[in-house]
Every structure is written in structure tokens, then in C-alpha cells.
Amino acid sequence: MSARIATVLRAARAKLESGPKCTGVLARDRNGKPVDSTDPEARSWDLFGAINGSAKNYEETMIAIVHFRRATGIEHPGAWYDSPKTTRRDVAEAFDKAIKAAEEP
């Protein structure tokens, strides 16, 4: 697929692992205040915010999200991520699957 998309997904996975789970907004700062997902003060992200904050532009964000959906079979990634039933392990495994698929020729 694309080494660049794999890089975006790896960076997004790292963002999601680095802080508390964020829902309801793309990103939050260390005080829990909503911020843009690309804001240097962001400390936690939702799934879309983590991908957007890792991509170079909107087009790359959308390609990475579509790839994530196709590779994992998760039709509504935002709702899936926001679900209290979705664990950090579930998120890591889904990103690993999407990253592996992106790295394949």
C-alpha cells in the first residue's frame, strides 16, 4: 500500500497509547481542555484526532482513515473507539493490522 500511510498509522497508534482515552473531541490538552488535534499542547486524542495529528494534510488523513477501515473491517472507527467496551489492547491490535496491511506491496 504505502510506507507513508504506515508511518501515519504508527504515529497515530503511539499518540493513542501515550495518554488517557479521549472521546467527544479530536484532542485535549493536559488539563482536559479541547484543542485541535495538531496543537502541540495536545496530550490525548480520539482515533480520528490521532490520525489527523499524525498526517501531513487532509488528504493523507482521509487516505489513512479509509485504509484503517478497510484493513480492520471496522465500519465506524470513531464509534468503535469511543465505546467503553473497546480496550487499549483492541486499539493496538487494530492499528497493528492496519499498519501491516499498509506495508504490504
**Distance of CA 58 to CAs 48, 62, 83, 105, Å?**
11, 6, 25, 24
Q: Which residue has the cell 467496551?
A: 85
| Structure confidence at residue 1 (pLDDT) | 54
Taking the domains of the chain in order of start, what are their residue ranges? 3-103
| Structure confidence at residue 105 (pLDDT) | 79
Q: Can you give the pLDDT of all 105 residues of the chain as single tens digits?
A: 589 999 999 999 999 999 899 999 999 999 999 999 999 999 999 999 999 999 999 999 999 999 999 999 999 999 999 999 999 999 999 999 999 999 987
Task: Name the packing angle between helices 58-72 and 3-18 (round to 10°).
Answer: 80
pTM: 0.94
104 neighbors 18 (Cβ within 8 angstroms): no
Bridging pattern class, strands 34-35 and 27-29:
antiparallel
